[in-house]
């Protein structure tokens, strides 16, 4: 069965793996009408956490040419191209006092029985904020509206959140949080949607991380629209309900990092 689906090269490689080493995580690459196995092979076991699997998948993905990734036929008409050379400087942050109105305002986004907030950190980055305001002013002027940004949520691993605070959103991990609407940085109007990607950090007793961000959505486009995308200028892609996808750090300004535990 394996030979039928992946060919002799991959079948032979898998056959050489001792049974004691199963299960395995193997990357496959399709090129020149042939399936080849990458040399990235990881042993998995019952104790392998979702965080570890997630990071290993990231490692495998870096071995591939992401520009050759294939999405749904209709989605391919709506690519978001990454030509950005600018990245923000490192952010500073301050833990909010739980007795302040600012903390309560942020906590109100998670006002249900499932989120137990550990702490909220205010993110401070004047340089990033200045670039964001300049980008918003430019888009406001182009589409003749000042209502171009929204408060949106982004869930991620704790380690990924540290990277975002140091260097901004990284195009190298584009696609990890979804590709249903093409490449880009994915945000949601619903924190429960973002919770799906806020995997628990087992080294921190299952704590999870969600960013509360200002995001310039500007002129949005639905991926299944019949309008040819090169005939219009658009700033984001949306599913028309909860999801927004943008392509630039200039359109994103993280305001708070929320650390919480999920109570089922």
Question: Which one has a higher pLDDT value, 65 or 154?
Answer: 154
pLDDT-derived band at 170 (thresholds 50, 70, 90) equals confident
What are the DSSP calls for 199-257, one per residue? --BGGGTTBEEEEEEEEE--SEE-TT-SS-GGGS--SEEE-SSSEEEE--GGGEEEEEE
Tokens 């007795």 correspond to 99
Q: Tell me how far apart the alpha carbons of residues 167 and 171 are, in angstroms, rounded to a whole number.
A: 11
Q: Which domains does the chain have, with CATH numbers?
A: 2-68 (no CATH), 83-262 (3.90.228.10)
Question: What's the predicted TM-score (pTM) here?
Answer: 0.68
Judge whether residue 110 has pLDDT over 70: yes
User: What is the number of other CB atoms lying within 10 angstroms of the CB of residue 78?
Assistant: 20
Q: Which residues pair with 217 in a beta bridge?
A: none
pLDDT band with cut points at 50, 70 and 90 for residue 171: confident
Cα 149 versus chain centre, distance: 19
- Assign 3-state DSSP to the chain and report helix, strand, coil percentages, each to 5: 35, 30, 40
Residue 239 in this model has a pLDDT that exceeds 60:
yes
Average pLDDT in the 231-243 region? Answer: 82
- At 256, the pLDDT band (50, 70, 90 cuts) reads very high
Ramachandran category for residue 218: left, alpha or beta (phi over 0 → left; psi -120 to 50 → alpha): left
Residue 26 clears pLDDT 90, i.e. is over it: no
Can you give the pLDDT at residue 260?
Answer: 96
In whole angstroms, what is the distance from residue 18 CA to residue 22 CA? 7
Confidence grade of residue 264 (pLDDT, cut at 50, 70, 90): confident
Whether 142 contacts 232, CB under 8 Å: no
Cα-atom radius of gyration of the chain, to the nearest Å? Answer: 21
Average pLDDT over the chain, rounded to an integer? 78
Does residue 226 surpass a pLDDT of 70? no
Select the more confidently predicted residue: 116 or 232: 116
Residue 253 tokens, joined = 């300004």
- pLDDT for residue 215: 98
Dig out the tokens for 229 from the structure.
């995308």
C-alpha triplet 69, 74, 78: angle, nearest 5°: 70
User: What pLDDT does residue 184 have?
Assistant: 83
Is residue 151's pLDDT more than 50?
yes
Rounded CA separation 121/42 (Å): 35
What are the strands, taking DSSP E only, across 47-135? 92-95, 115-124
């Amino acid at each position: 069965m394996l030979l039928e689906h992946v060919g002799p090269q991959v079948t032979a490689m898998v056959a050489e793996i001792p049974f004691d080493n199963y299960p395995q995580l193997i990357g496959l690459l399709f090129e020149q009408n042939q399936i080849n196995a990458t040399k990235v092979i990881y042993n998995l076991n019952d104790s392998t956490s979702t965080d570890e699997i997630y990071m290993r998948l990231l490692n495998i993905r870096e071995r591939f040419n992401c520009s050759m990734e294939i999405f749904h036929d209709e989605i391919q008409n709506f690519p978001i191209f990454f030509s950005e050379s600018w990245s923000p400087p490192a952010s500073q942050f301050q833990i909010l006092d739980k007795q302040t109105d600012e903390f309560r305002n942020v906590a109100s986004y998670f006002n249900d029985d499932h989120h137990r907030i550990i702490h909220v950190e205010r993110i401070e980055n004047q340089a990033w904020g200045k670039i964001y305001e300049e980008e918003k002013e430019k888009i406001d002027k182009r589409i003749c509206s000042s209502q171009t940004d929204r408060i949106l949520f982004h869930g991620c691993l704790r380690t990924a959140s540290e990277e975002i605070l140091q260097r901004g959103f990284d195009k190298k991990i584009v696609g990890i949080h979804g590709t249903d609407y093409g490449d880009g940085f994915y945000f949601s109007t619903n924190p429960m949607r973002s919770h799906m990607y806020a995997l628990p950090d087992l080294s921190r007793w299952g704590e999870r991380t969600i960013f509360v961000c200002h995001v310039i959505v500007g002129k949005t486009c639905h991926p299944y629209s019949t309008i040819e995308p090169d005939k219009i200028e658009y700033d984001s892609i949306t599913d028309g309900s909860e999801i927004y996808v943008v392509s630039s750090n200039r359109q994103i300004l993280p305001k708070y990092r929320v650390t919480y535990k999920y109570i089922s």
